[in-house]
Amino acid sequence: MQHSGVKRILARGVFVAVALSSLGLAACGANGGSSGNKALKIGTDFPVSGTDAAVTLPAQYGVQLAVQQNKDLGNGYTLSEVDKNDEGTSGADPSIGASNIQQLISDSAVMAIVGPFNSGVAKQEIPIVNKSTIVLISPTNTNPGLTKREFADANGVNFDLLHPAGKPESYFRLPGTDDVQGKVNADIALAAPISATTAYVVDDSTTYGKGIATQFTKEFTAKGGTIVGSTSITPDQVSNLPQLATTIVGKNPGVVYYGGVTSGGGGALKKDLVEKGGNMAMVGGDGIADDPAWLVTAGAAAVNTYGTVAAPDISGLTSAVAQKFITDYKAAFPGKDLLPYSASAYDAAMIEITAIKNLIKAGKTVTRAAVRDEVAGISYDGVTGHISFDANGDNAGAKVFSVYSVGSDGKWKFAQLVNG
């Protein structure tokens, strides 16, 4: 954590606020002040380069669409966007994410942020936004320990560090969490057509991967399944997994569960398993589901992969609001993929924009703290359904998951919606 950077920003924000206050004006610093400048901004932080870009860029596009549609906020206020990339040398980098958040906070015009994509990055960013009282809404974070104290220790989360005493919760998220998603994944593995009774569990060593794999294991064994082995893939092992594949095939599990993202080694492992004669199904979560990069990495071996996304598939969205979003997205980004998290990211941005607009319409001063309060109490009907937040910052609405599978044609296909 780079606390010193936050302190410098806080100090600068207080100084500016005091100085301008004496002139009858106000400036928005990291302490949640207001902005005399009516040119407001929303920030994003996603890993939008490298292997993960195929999944993350469509989420960023969702935010961009929301901003494009709301450039004029009314009463002289305008809106623009500042995009940050937290991709490192081997996937999303928590330290880069933390630095990105600090940079966004230092921009006094930034009223709220959408992101991050990865739970491991969120673990670094949440303490910063909570101390600074600036809204951060993730359309994708699913690690339960980020908001639920009972899951914190098991997921390597220092809950008190993330949620400083006396500070309001400024971190919010839309999807169902991994304690729910891991159970859904186990149910998929146990049910037809997989009908597994034994499983080998692999994770990619990330906070997300380990967390969801743990929940899968608990549910799978609680319902009568047996875990025949487990291992973590470290970043330096991603390019050389044949030995692990040989070990797994030797255990002959009915299913291989992979907790992690595509770039963490899952696609490469699926390819190696098939090459070693392991044609069993592989099940994973939203780190791999419907990811085009998975198909590229695993190649022909991608067949018989199942994954869940903690968001409703676009094909299942039939409301007028959803249909308009789909039309507008395709018009704004022709030829670009429209994925479930495109809609979730759009909703996250629209919640922040709605909060800002509510303040403007009410004639209230637009501050980061005021935006946070509006978001905390919001009741919003979006593309993905009705959204409100509980005291932890979690979506209080239904926890819907989309199930995808790779068929004989080597393509991801939406299978069904399930409730967690």
Q: 360 with 74: CB under 8 angstroms?
A: yes
Q: Which two tokens stand for residue 278?
A: 């392991």
72 occurs within a structural domain: yes
219 occurs within a structural domain: yes
pLDDT value, residue 363:
97
Q: Are residues 12 and 60 in the same domain?
A: yes
159 occurs within a structural domain: yes
7 occurs within a structural domain: yes
pLDDT value, residue 27:
34
For the domain that residue 247 is a member of, what is the CATH number? 3.40.50.2300
Q: Tell me 71's DSSP state.
A: S
Domain that holds residue 368: 3-175+318-389
Q: Which conformational region is residue 378 in: left (phi greater than 0), alpha (psi within -120 to 50 degrees), or beta?
A: beta
Half-sphere exposure of 56 (CA within 13 A, CB side): 28
395 occurs within a structural domain: no
396 occurs within a structural domain: no
Q: Are residues 40 and 73 in the same domain?
A: yes
Alpha carbons 117 and 97: distance in angstroms, whole number: 10
Half-sphere exposure of 154 (CA within 13 A, CB side): 18
Q: Are residues 226 and 105 in the same domain?
A: no
pLDDT value, residue 17:
36
Q: Are residues 206 and 285 in the same domain?
A: yes
Which secondary structure element, helix H or strand E, spans residue 73, and what is its range?
strand 72-74
Q: Are residues 322 and 380 in the same domain?
A: yes
Q: Are residues 46 and 137 in the same domain?
A: yes
Q: Are residues 188 and 301 in the same domain?
A: yes
Q: Tell me 319's DSSP state.
A: S
Q: Are residues 234 and 302 in the same domain?
A: yes
In 3D, which of 106, 129, 107 has the Cα closest to residue 115? 129
Q: Are residues 30 and 95 in the same domain?
A: yes
Q: How many CB atoms lie within 10 A of CB 409?
A: 8
Q: 178 with 143: CB under 8 angstroms?
A: yes
Q: Are residues 189 and 87 in the same domain?
A: no
pLDDT value, residue 211:
84
Helices (runs of H) and strands (runs of E) counted in the chain: 14, 17
Q: 82 with 123: CB under 8 angstroms?
A: no
Tell me which amino acid residue 262 is: T
pLDDT tens string, the chain, 420 residues long: the values are 333 332 222 233 333 333 333 333 333 333 444 446 899 999 999 999 987 899 899 999 999 999 999 999 999 999 999 999 999 998 899 999 999 999 999 999 999 999 999 999 999 999 999 999 999 999 999 889 999 999 999 888 999 999 999 999 999 999 999 889 999 999 999 999 999 999 999 999 987 898 899 999 999 999 999 999 999 999 888 888 999 999 999 999 999 999 999 989 999 999 999 999 999 999 999 889 989 999 999 999 999 999 998 888 988 888 999 999 999 999 999 999 998 889 999 999 999 999 999 999 999 999 999 999 999 999 999 999 899 999 999 999 878 899 999 999 999 999 998 888
Q: Are residues 377 and 339 in the same domain?
A: yes
Q: 206 with 264: CB under 8 angstroms?
A: yes
DSSP string, 151-217: HHGGGT--HHHHS-TT----EEE-SPPHHHHHHHHHHHHHSTTT--SEEEEEE-SSHHHHHHHHHHH
Name residue 387's beta-bridge partners.
Answer: 380
Residue 193, preceding peptide bond in cis (omega within 30° of 0): yes
pLDDT value, residue 9:
29
Tell me which amino acid residue 89 is: T
Alpha carbons 242 and 289: distance in angstroms, whole number: 23
Q: Are residues 169 and 227 in the same domain?
A: no
Q: Which two tokens stand for residue 246?
A: 């040989």
Pairing verdict, β 255-259 and 226-232: unpaired
Provide the number of structural domains found in the chain: 2
Tracing tokens 């607009």 back to the chain, one arrives at 357
